[in-house]
Structure 1
Amino acid sequence: MKSKVFFLFLLLIFCTTFACRNKEEKPTVSKTSKPIYSYEEKLKNEVTEIRRFLGKSPKYNSDVAFFLDMKVESGRNRFFVYDLKNNKLLDKGLVGHGSGSETGIYGELKFSNIKNSNCSSLGKYAIGSSYTGRFGKAYKLYGLDKSNSNAFDRNIVLHKYEDVPFEEQPYPICNSLGCPMVNEKFFNVLEKQIDTSKKKIILVMYY
């Protein structure tokens, strides 16, 4: 009788230990945690869309295009220079968005095509000629969609700004008045692409 009781006691200890061990080894998944956003899949879709557009619009450069993923936090690289001809990413950098696009909620932006809204506008842009303005050399932008049709009248341009960092940051970077605003060093990369292109390059801003 004593041996049976002792055996049952050992069995109880073993089962309890095994159950605790299994409980510890199971990973816990937080219901409140958000998945980390990855730009690659969205960029792939945007590249496919712009290829369709360029196939119908031969007046634009079909070899290279610029893509701005505004879903990516401003402290991370979200301005992509893409080689459409060889299907590869050439370069990437930081870009500031309009101060009017801030919602007060981290990671969420709003967009507008209205004058004096200081918002960024989503859509396709044709990059026009350069000029020398307040921030030095800059490029005029022409909105090609209803969502950004007022870009030229709003003085939305592609320009550089000394306070935009070159390296990625763990915090948001400075805002513009609605213009895509980049670091001076990264601007030089874009400048070479734009100035050597025989046709206008398309810039796409999406969210």
Structure 2
Amino acid sequence: MRKLLLAFLGLLPLLAGLYYFLPHYTKYNFPVAATPNKKATENNITAKLKKQAVQGKAYALTQNLSTQYGFLIDMSQPSGRYRFFVYDFKRDSILAKGLVAHGSCNTDYLETAQYSNTPESGCSSLGKYRVSYSYKGQFGKAYKLNGLDSSNSNAFNRFVVLHAYDCVPNSEVYPQPICNSLGCPMVSYDFLAKLSGYINKSPKPILLWIYE
């Protein structure tokens, strides 16, 4: 019995070393490897957004649209990530960001956006839009959108509008996706309230640009 006890006591330093090593390996090594990738992704999104904003401001200037604010939607990002940005053209900065749904193209569910300008297609449409007047729609307040490109010229008659729905979360849920719309840029109610604030104080219509 004494020999077994002494043998057990002799193993204690080894067990203590293993106990110390494993939690520290889990806690410190794994997150460090993931952090640079996330940061690199955020930097790439921001760089792309700034480039798009330069083009958006130049376009707004020629179309008598707001050169203060722009709504930029990067559909190349997963739906669970922020991809709707309120951009301050004058200060070259992001004012707000939120989640936005893309169209299902009349399927049960579409994880990655597909595009069409065809009436009743249920798909999103790439291109530039002018945010027009508000009205009370099926899901509450909504804004009519005028398509300004050949890729979204039917948006007004298709009732592709900026509106909210309660299936869209307020915060990022990536890697989980969010719900689909029927082609509308659909946001959360809280985010629509923020967007309404910018629309209401802008003396000129705001450019909304959906791109990849």
Q: How does 1:119-130 map to 2 (within 5 A)?
A: 119-130=123-134
The alpha-carbon distance between structure 1 residues 39 and 160, as it changes in their structure 2 partners (threshold 3 A), is same
**CA offsets, 1:117-168, max 9 Å, x none?**
1000000000000000101110000000000000001000000101111111
1:195 lines up with 2:184 in the alignment? no
Distance 2:41 2:194 in 1: 28
- Give the paired residue count: 171
Q: How does 1:57-136 map to 2 (within 5 A)?
A: 57=63, 59-100=64-105, 108-136=112-140
Match of 2:8 in 1: none
Task: Please tell me whether the aligned partners of residues 103 and 114 of structure 2 are also in contact (alpha carbons under 8 angstroms).
Answer: no
- Whose radius of gyration is greater, 1 or 2? 1
Distance 1:186 1:203 in 2: 15
Residue 42 of structure 1 aligns to a residue whose secondary structure is helix
Q: What stretches of structure 1 of length at least 5 have no aligned partner? A: 1-34
Q: 1:39 aligns with which of 38, 45, 52?
A: 45
Distance 1:116 1:98 in 2: 11
The alpha-carbon distance between structure 1 residues 162 and 109, as it changes in their structure 2 partners (threshold 3 A), is closer
1:162 lines up with 2:166 in the alignment? yes
Shift, 1:55, TM fit: 2.6
Give the TM-score of the pair, scaled to structure 2: 0.76
The alpha-carbon distance between structure 1 residues 51 and 74, as it changes in their structure 2 partners (threshold 3 A), is same
1:51 lines up with 2:57 in the alignment? yes
RMSD: 2.0
Residue 113 of structure 1 aligns to a residue whose secondary structure is coil
Distance 2:209 2:201 in 1: 19
Give the TM-score of the pair, scaled to structure 1: 0.78
Task: Please tell me whether the aligned partners of residues 103 and 113 of structure 2 are also in contact (alpha carbons under 8 angstroms).
Answer: no
The alpha-carbon distance between structure 1 residues 139 and 155, as it changes in their structure 2 partners (threshold 3 A), is same
Aligned-pair identity in percent equals 47
Distance 2:145 2:156 in 1: 6
Moved over 4 A (4+): none
Task: Please tell me whether the aligned partners of residues 101 and 109 of structure 1 are also in contact (alpha carbons under 8 angstroms).
Answer: no
Task: Please tell me whether the aligned partners of residues 113 and 124 of structure 2 are also in contact (alpha carbons under 8 angstroms).
Answer: no
Shift, 1:98, TM fit: 0.3
Distance 1:184 1:55 in 2: 30
The residue type paired with residue 207 of structure 2 is I
Higher helix share: 2
Shift, 1:45, TM fit: 1.7
Match of 1:31 in 2: none
